[in-house]
Amino acid sequence: MDPVTLEICWSRLIGVVNEQAAALQRTSFTSIVREAGDLSAGVFDRRGYMVAQAVTGTPGHINSMALAMKHFLAAYPLETLRAGDVLITNDPWLTSGHLNDVTIASPIFRGEECIAFFASTCHTADIGGHVLSAEAREVYEEGLQIPIMKLYEAGRPNDALLAIIRANVRVPEMVLGDFHAQIAGGAVGGERLLEFMDEFGLVRLEPLADEIIGRTERVMRQAIRALAPGAYEYAIISDGFDEPITIRTRCEVRGDELWIDYAGSSPASRRGVNVVMNYTEAYTTYGVKVIVSPDVPNNEGAFRPLRITAPEGSILNVRRPAAVAARHIIGHFLPHAIAGALGQALPARVMAEGSANIWGIQVAGKDEHGAPFTYVFFSSGGTGARATKDGLSATAFPSGVLGTPVEVIESLVPLVVERKCLRPDSGGAGTYRGGLGQTIAFRARTREPYTCSVLCDRTMHAAAGFLGGDPGGYGMVSIDGVAPANPKAEQLISPGALVEVHLPGGGGYGPPSARDPELIARDRLEGYVTRS
């Protein structure tokens, strides 16, 4: 395929998956998907290779979905599928790491032949069991498990499965509504793909897929080969649930391949902050790619030069039936661990440690009229400073999930957000300053106590600076001015109590003494306090 035609085909393919994602978001029933963008969407060839992804989505969804498609095909080989089939699962060990993430895959047929798949992963509003928290001790407590099954068969709904789902979730209309939004997105993507293939005379997707994937793989291997040979190590400490957790990584350059090993990391936790291997691989591949070769497309070819290992039974490769609901608390540290290691070889391409994981705030109870509610919204702290720029304030990295506007939150659940602002003294000082965290304070309009779960970290171990930069500020949770014994634990909140979450800031990059005087003056004008 000549370069011009290839570029046109690639642009069209990106347009196709972006239409899939847009249809999904516009028809979604929940603000988690519609406003925060906690979803992924992608197109796969008949072999289960991810060819292209939509511009929206989190690495934990997208890259784990790329692994999940091979599990779908193992359970339902091509010859068992028919037009109108829709596959579904939320198995944490096969997909995105916890039960709240549901992956739906739609085979696309031309006549009697399956030519491709469109898949999406979305965070569902509820999956039963505990509210989204780290409290559970086994995955069985965390909600309904859906093995790989057909949600639709030849266009007919699986009524038995739908009845089971409806009976096990708190908000079935929202949950099933989002499932059908995912199906609608896949249908739109399929229509656009068939139009594109007909226009360009493509009988199969595989020749185009091989060209795209092959080019990505070659560029990734060239970038790895350019690294100085050797092994680079780094470690990060997380608060954990009730004891600190160490994430230890070793990145070894072996010619045009990179081996990332997590030997020495903490063993599995007794609570729900554990990470399955799929999710570990998802955020590891992302962490490597953004440093080594950030501009190449993210597809099957970007994964092939990487070997990723973690000891079975460790915090990053847990066995069933470990609790995993809050797996992102640990998993979002992985790109920072990769940066700490590869930063020794490429210091100009990495950022200092940031707040890392998004803080998920889930509330559940009954409103003033006795009607039940459950809702989760996300917020972000500051990113680490970069080699030539300050860190970003109140920005999700590595997840990319957006904050939900206050107006949306207050319109959907009985919460009143009294304050939402940046924390001026939360970014680590440096030649370039870490991004600032934020403060969110809210009360609930209820007549009886309600449950609040804050999935947080960096309350005891701050984001480290890089090359002489200072650490970022600590995070904190308080209820009527009092910090709970364990901020990750489910809290029973009295009616009218003020809940405040103070998100951590990012670390600084380079010594504070080298900061440009013009930047210091700007800091003062903008009301930021540069800590030293």
pLDDT at 528 over 60: yes
pLDDT at 526 over 80: no
Please state which of the four CATH numbers 3.40.50, 1.10.260, 1.10.10, 3.30.450 is assigned to the domain occupying 3-204.
3.30.450
Percent of the chain with pLDDT over 70: 99
Query: Which residue, 399, 292, 395, is CA-closest to 342?
Result: 292
User: For residue 472, what pLDDT is reported?
Assistant: 95
Task: Report residue 141 as tokens.
Answer: 């407590």
Average pLDDT taken over every residue of the chain: 94
Residue ranges of the chain that CATH labels 3.30.365: 217-349
Residue ranges of the chain that CATH labels 3.30.450: 3-204
The pLDDT tens digits of the residues spanning 446-456 come to 999 999 999 99
The pLDDT tens digits of the residues spanning 18-57 come to 999 999 999 999 888 888 888 899 999 999 999 999 988 7
Residue 80 CB burial class (10 angstroms; 0-12, 13-18, ≥19): exposed
| 530 confidence band (pLDDT: 50, 70, 90) | low
Helix/strand/coil for 233: strand
Query: Is domain 217-349 classified as CATH 3.30.365?
Result: yes
Per the DSSP assignment, residues forming a β-bridge with 378 are 360
Segment 223-236 shows an average pLDDT of: 95
Say how many C-beta atoms besides its own lie within 10 A of residue 524's C-beta: 10
Sign for the pseudo-dihedral over CA of 520, 521, 523, 529: positive
| 128 confidence band (pLDDT: 50, 70, 90) | very high
The pLDDT tens digits of the residues spanning 297-351 come to 999 999 999 999 999 999 999 999 999 999 999 999 999 999 999 999 999 999 9
User: For residue 105, what pLDDT is reported?
Assistant: 98
pLDDT at 480 over 70: yes
pLDDT at 531 over 80: no
User: For residue 442, what pLDDT is reported?
Assistant: 97
- pTM of the predicted protein model: 0.93
User: For residue 532, what pLDDT is reported?
Assistant: 40
Q: Of 90-104, 125-139, 160-174, which gets the smallest average pLDDT?
A: 125-139
| 191 confidence band (pLDDT: 50, 70, 90) | very high
User: For residue 505, what pLDDT is reported?
Assistant: 96
Say how many C-beta atoms besides its own lie within 10 A of residue 421's C-beta: 11
User: For residue 529, what pLDDT is reported?
Assistant: 59
Q: Could you give the CA distance from residue 490 to residue 135 in angstroms, rounded to a whole number?
A: 7
251, amino acid identity: C
Do residues 280 and 248 make contact, with C-beta atoms less than 8 angstroms apart? no
503: Cβ–Cβ under 8 A, 6 or more apart, which residues? Answer: 355, 359, 379, 380, 381, 382, 394, 423, 426, 437, 438, 439, 440, 456, 475
The pLDDT tens digits of the residues spanning 341-378 come to 999 999 999 999 999 999 999 999 999 999 988 898 99
| 525 confidence band (pLDDT: 50, 70, 90) | confident
Say how many C-beta atoms besides its own lie within 10 A of residue 4's C-beta: 8
pLDDT at 527 over 80: no
